[in-house]
Structure 1
Amino acid sequence: MIKNIEIKGIAKDTLDFILEVSRSTYPNEFAGLLEAEDGIITDVLFLPGTESSESNAVLKLFMMPNTSAVGSVHSHPSSIIRPSKADLRLFSKTGTRHIIAGHPYGHKNWKCYDGTGQIVDLPVLDVDLGDEDVL
């Protein structure tokens, strides 16, 4: 399910996680869906069966569990962080905020887009995500 809620920003820890996953999967792309709590992007959902290579990452949207996504995230192994035609098709199916992180995956190497591929401001917020137990 895709959730259309007003997005206020992204948690700094979540952005740090996205950049670290991007670095660790380089030179392959990674992809996931974004989840939000109270209008703040807090989580990245990885779908089973996602295929990743140096040229693309393919999300198996039919594997999406009964959860709400507010957008998508993926990395580009190059420093080009503009959405491709394939990215725009994904954007139209997966919510209102879409993050692309580009090599070398630093804090200045990412952008957020709306569903049509226009850059949108996504403030990075220093919020407490709580202490969740990891199983």
Structure 2
Amino acid sequence: METVKIRRELLGYLLELAREFYPNEFAGFLREKAGVFEEVLIAPDPHFGRSSAFFNTWMLPYDESIKGTVHSHPGPNPWPSQADLNFFSKFGGVHLIIAYPFTEDSVRAYKSDGSRLKVEILD
């Protein structure tokens, strides 16, 4: 299984965002440096609801360091929905889903086709 690498500090921040927005979803874009996810970008004017998150990707700046997405699921299911898979196929890259209860163990990573990736947390 392929691996995606993320800084512990960023993952902690993403878990905190998921808790803060609960019971709504939140979503963002992941910036990568030297093969490691290190920052999150929240798109302007997002809508974070109980069953979906929406943002206008046209509002994003041109940024070649954006290599993935992240969003939360307010329930315990960490698997991508059909809507998630449709988005994954359009955006590309790596996609993190953080499921309730928003712990390191409830984070899953997927490729654009929905296949799983291993998550490696770096200090």
Fold in common (TM above 0.5): yes
Within-5 A mapping of 1:73-84: 73-84=70-81
Superposition RMSD on alpha carbons, in Å?
1.5
Distance in 1, matches of 2:122 and 2:87, equals 26
Alignment identity in percent?
36
Distance 1:42 1:83, change over 3 A: same
1:90 aligns with 2:112: no
Q: Secondary structure at the match of 2:11?
A: helix
Give 5+ residue unaligned stretches, structure 1.
Answer: 1-6, 127-135
Which ranges of 4 or more aligned residues in structure 1 deviate by more than 4 Å? Answer: none
Q: Tell me the distance in 2 between the aligned counterparts of 1:117 and 1:95.
A: 11
Alignment of 1:84-123 (within 5 A): 84-123=81-120
Structure 1's 8 and 78: CA in aligned 2 closer, same or farther, altered over 3 A? closer
Alpha-carbon distance in structure 2 between the residues aligned to 1:12 and 1:73: 15
Higher-strand-fraction structure:
2
Contact 2:4 2:109 in 1 (8 A): no
Q: TM-score, normalised by structure 1?
A: 0.85
Q: Shift of residue 28 of structure 1?
A: 0.4
Distance 2:113 2:10 in 1: 23
Q: How many residue pairs were aligned? A: 121
Aligned 8 A contact 1:29 1:57 in 2:
yes
Q: What displacement does 1:73 show?
A: 0.2
Give, in whole Å, the separation in 2 of the partners of 1:117 and 1:10: 19
Match for 2:54: what amino acid? Answer: V
Map Cα deviations across residues 49-93 of structure 1 (whole Å, 9 max, x no partner): 211111100121111112121010000000001001111111122
Which consecutive residues of structure 2, in runs of 5 or more, have no partner in the other structure?
A: none
Aligned equivalents of 2:92 and 2:10: distance in 1?
Answer: 18
Q: Offset at 1:108?
A: 0.6
1:66 aligns with 2:62: yes
